[in-house]
Amino acid sequence: MFIRSERLFLRPAWPEDWEELLTAIADEAIVRNLARAPWPYGPDQARDFAARPQDSRRPNFFVSTANNGELIGSVGLGRDDEGRTELGYWIARPHWGNGYAPEAARAVLRLAKTLGHRRLVAGHFVDNPASGRVLAKVGFRPTGRIVNRFSLARGREVESVEYASDLGAASDCDGASANWAAMRAA
């Protein structure tokens, strides 16, 4: 599966991408805000992530710039600790502040709706409010729950603010479903 947004190209990871992935993610400021990534993040972790099989109901994508194909992050769907479908993402530090995280998240939200998902959850560690701003921009709302979530990089549980998005209702991800249908047909 491939998705093209205004400035980004989202594509599956390929095993040969591991070195570019390692270059993009090998930053403690990124990894410490992800639940399942260890720190330090090394070649073995990059190889494993790039070779992971895709789940057709919960796909993951590498995020690259449409103009030069540089890998700048990852976005996708997964299962949270309670078995719910969860949105996750990260963007490499040199690309922070350019609106890439909301753009990539919106593209995956449109896909999630097309795949039949009606509700997604997401979260951010309490010391990473920037991620909460991204979630709000794409239509997620706080559920009122703060849960302890294990951070592999930090080696401990960290308080996480929980968000949810009901995709059955009109949201910020609407308006480009025709683009997805066109991309699927291509």
pLDDT digits (tens, 9 = 90+) for 61-90: 999 999 999 999 999 999 998 999 999 999
Q: What is the pTM of this model?
A: 0.89
Q: What is the CATH number of the domain that holds 160?
A: 3.40.630.30
pLDDT digits (tens, 9 = 90+) for 100-112: 999 999 999 999 9
Output the CA–CA distances (angstroms, integers) from residue 91 to 4, 49, 88, 167, in the order listed: 17, 16, 11, 24
**How many structural domains is the chain composed of?**
1
Write out the residue range of the structural domain in which residue 171 sits: 3-185
